[in-house]
Amino acid sequence: MTLPAQVSPPEIALSDSAPSQVAGAEVVAVPVLADGAPDADGAALTLGPGAAELLDELDEDLFALLDAAKATGEAGQIVDRTVLDASGMGNKDLRQVLLVGVGAGTPAELRRAGAALARRTRDCGVVATSLAALADEAGLRALVEGLVLGSFEFHMRSGGPLITPPKQVVLAGVTDVKGRRPALERSLAVAGASWRSRTLALVPANEKNPVWMAEQAADVARHAGLGITVWDEKRLAAEGFGGIVGVGQGSVNPPRLVRLDYAPRKANRKTPHVVLVGKGITFDTGGLSIKPKDNMMLMKRDMTGAGVVLAVMGALAAVDCPVRVTGLMACAENSVGAASIRPGDVLRHYRGRTSEVTNTDAEGRLVMADALAYAVEQLHPDVLVDVATLTGAMKIALGQRTGGFFATDDALADTLRTASLSAGEPLWRMPLVDDYEERLASKVADADNAAGGPGAITAALFLQHFTGGLPWAHLDIASVGDSPSDELEWTKGATGFGARALLHWLELREPLAGVGAPAAHREV
Residues 432 and 460: beta-carbon distance below 8 Å: yes
Calpha distance 245→283 (Å, rounded): 15
The DSSP secondary structure of 315-376, one letter per residue, reads HTTTTT--SEEEEEEEEEEE--STT---TT-EEE-TTS-EEE-S-TT--HHHHHHHHHHHII
Residue among 165, 99, 102, 97 at smallest CA distance from 139: 102
Q: What is the DSSP string of 270-319?
A: TS-EEEEEEEEEEEE--TTSPPPHHHHTTGGGTTHHHHHHHHHHHHTTTT
Distance of alpha carbon 422 from alpha carbon 379, whole angstroms: 30
Q: Bridge-partner residues for 348, per DSSP?
A: 354
Do 274 and 506 meet the contact criterion of CB atoms below 8 Å apart? yes
| Element of type H or E holding 476 | strand 472-476
Contacting residues for 238 by C-beta, under 8 A, at least 6 apart: none
Q: In what order do the strands lie in the sheet with 447-448?
A: 346-348, 354-356, 447-448
- Catalytic residue check, 178: no
Q: Can you tell me the distance from the alpha carbon of 114 to that of 513, in angstroms, rounded to the nearest whole number?
A: 32
Query: 1 to each of 183, 203, 205, 281, 351, how far by Cα in Å?
Result: 39, 12, 12, 21, 39
Paired with 32 in beta bridges are: 47, 101
* CA pair distance 329, 217, nearest whole angstrom: 9
Dihedral over alpha carbons 175, 181, 187, 188 (to 10 degrees): 120
Q: Give dist(CA 351, CA 133) in Å, integer.
A: 55
- Whether residue 483 contacts residue 493, with contact meaning beta carbons closer than 8 Å, is answered with yes
Q: Which residues of 411-447 are buried (b: 16+ CB within 10 A; e: fewer)?
A: bbbbbbbebbebbbbbbeebebeeebbebbebeebbb
Instruction: Identify the active-site residue in 141, 365, 417, 500.
Output: 365
Say which of 291, 351, 401, 439 is annotated catalytic. 291
Query: What's the CA gap between 62 and 68, in Å, rounded?
Result: 10
325 exposure class (CB count in 10 Å sphere: 0-12, 13-18, 19+) = buried
**Residue among 359, 324, 308 at smallest CA distance from 494:** 308
Residue 349: how many CA atoms within 13 Å on its side-chain side?
31
364 Rama sector, left if φ>0, alpha if ψ -120 to 50, beta otherwise: alpha
* CB-side neighbour CA atoms (13 Å) of 446: 15
- Residue numbers annotated as active site: 291, 365
